[in-house]
Amino acid sequence: MKQGKNLVTGTEWDYQKVFDFTDESEEVKNFGKDHETEWVDEWGRRGVERWCRKEGKRDKQIWKEEWYQKIFSNSEQADDDELIEESSCSKWGKNEETNEEWIEKWGENHKSGQKLKWCDKWQVCLHTQQKKGENWGQTYTDDY
């Protein structure tokens, strides 16, 4: 555990790390704040799963992110890309000053010789509600 405050800059932090020796899991929570920005980060691992969550705000901007990854339990494969069984990311942000909001989601699943990758990205003008973005997905075999 680490906590502190810089009296000159006003920066504050609170960092906590918990390690469980019974299942070798690890969780970290981190809070930070300065004169412009405030944020919270959390990340950890338990068994074959890894995750991360972040959120923050600065002036008229706010954002959130979540990342998740699961690796194969039998990880004797040589290539790091082949270790991933499932992976995903979700991001959201809003800027009230520019009247914009954005959403991004993507991921991949690797199951028995077939892989699926996908992505959704959108940006919305909050003034006109005009939406622009892209959406795609791809399925392929290990031979690809």
pLDDT tens series, the chain, 144 aa: 899 999 898 899 999 999 999 999 999 999 999 988 999 999 999 999 999 999 999 989 999 999 999 988 765 554 555 688 899 999 999 999 999 999 999 999 887 777 889 999 999 999 899 999 988 888 776 555
| Spatial distance between the Cα atoms of 48 and 85, rounded to a whole number of angstroms | 9
Q: Which two tokens stand for residue 8?
A: 């000159």
The distance in angstroms from the start CA to the end CA of the chain is: 47
pTM for the complete prediction?
A: 0.77
| Spatial distance between the Cα atoms of 110 and 78, rounded to a whole number of angstroms | 16
Residue 120: helix, strand or coil by DSSP? strand
| 17 touches 26 (CB < 8 A) | yes
Dihedral of CA 107/82/74/112: which sign? positive
